[in-house]
Structure 1
Amino acid sequence: MNKTADRIAAVAFLALGALFMVESLRISKSAYGSAVGPNVFPFLLGLVLVFLSIKLLLETRRYSEATSEKQARQYKKFLVIFIAAIFYAGLLEMVGYVITTFLFLVIGFQTMEKGALWKSIALAASFSLGVYGLYVKLLQGTLPSWPIWFQ
């Protein structure tokens, strides 16, 4: 853990989160056919980013100066998740939210920690179906639906 790098990252993400929140207020408050406007998710994501940045800033105060061992960079894991994110963005509209989110999360979970495949599948399925159900069914928002061959 690098205290200086973590502090710089926390301040940068804090500013980015605040920017998300401010700019989301410029988006229209409502959308046709949806009870939830397009400004809700960017604002909430900015809020989460601000809270996590503050948490990281507070945690860096507890870093001990004695821990100076360097951790190996994990370029392979980064590259796998980066490529998966590109495919996720590219396939989201065509394949649908639930399937692409499920696949992205399973790949991400397995990349970060191999093993426990069934646990990764269960978490990814519950998250993607839960968010879809909460946002689309309960809040009547819109997300890319199921692929054409499922409808």
Structure 2
Amino acid sequence: MSASMRQKTAYSAVVAGYDQPTTRIHGRVKEILIAFAVMTVPMIVFSALLLGLIFHYRVVQNAFASENLAFSSGQDDSDVFFVKISATTLITIASWSSTVAPILVGFAVTLTSYPIASGMLSASVKQEPAQLPTPYQLSLLLEMLSSGSPSACGVG
């Protein structure tokens, strides 16, 4: 086993003579941080862009000079923002975010794989076979994690 492979992952081992085996998986902090950043940054950028456009192009309503000139009750709502912006601009930005969202699923799979691996490692160290997945469940889990993670694409 190469030195780089030993640096990336440390597995638990129960050795005779040791009372407390290691049950932590080390060395994947960089991959977790990258997956978290790739998942959150694009959605934060799109949300900030939408909010920025809405507050920049917001139309502030002035008080009415006369009650006869006031809007009907449906148009004078304090919970509504009136904006002077093209609907196609808002739809375009929403379309970009809906295009990026499915790409981020692989990074979500990466983030969920660590608690799953930790639970399986803990159950195996404690010798609780009822807490471990069946062979069929394990094959489904491995298929999902291997095909959906960024590591499958060479990222990380």
> Could you tell me the TM-score, scaled by structure 2's length?
0.29
Greater radius of gyration (CA): 2
Q: Which has the higher helix share?
A: 1
Which protein, 1 or 2, shows the higher relative CO under an 8 Å CA cutoff with sep ≥ 6? 2
TM-score when scaled to structure 1?
A: 0.30
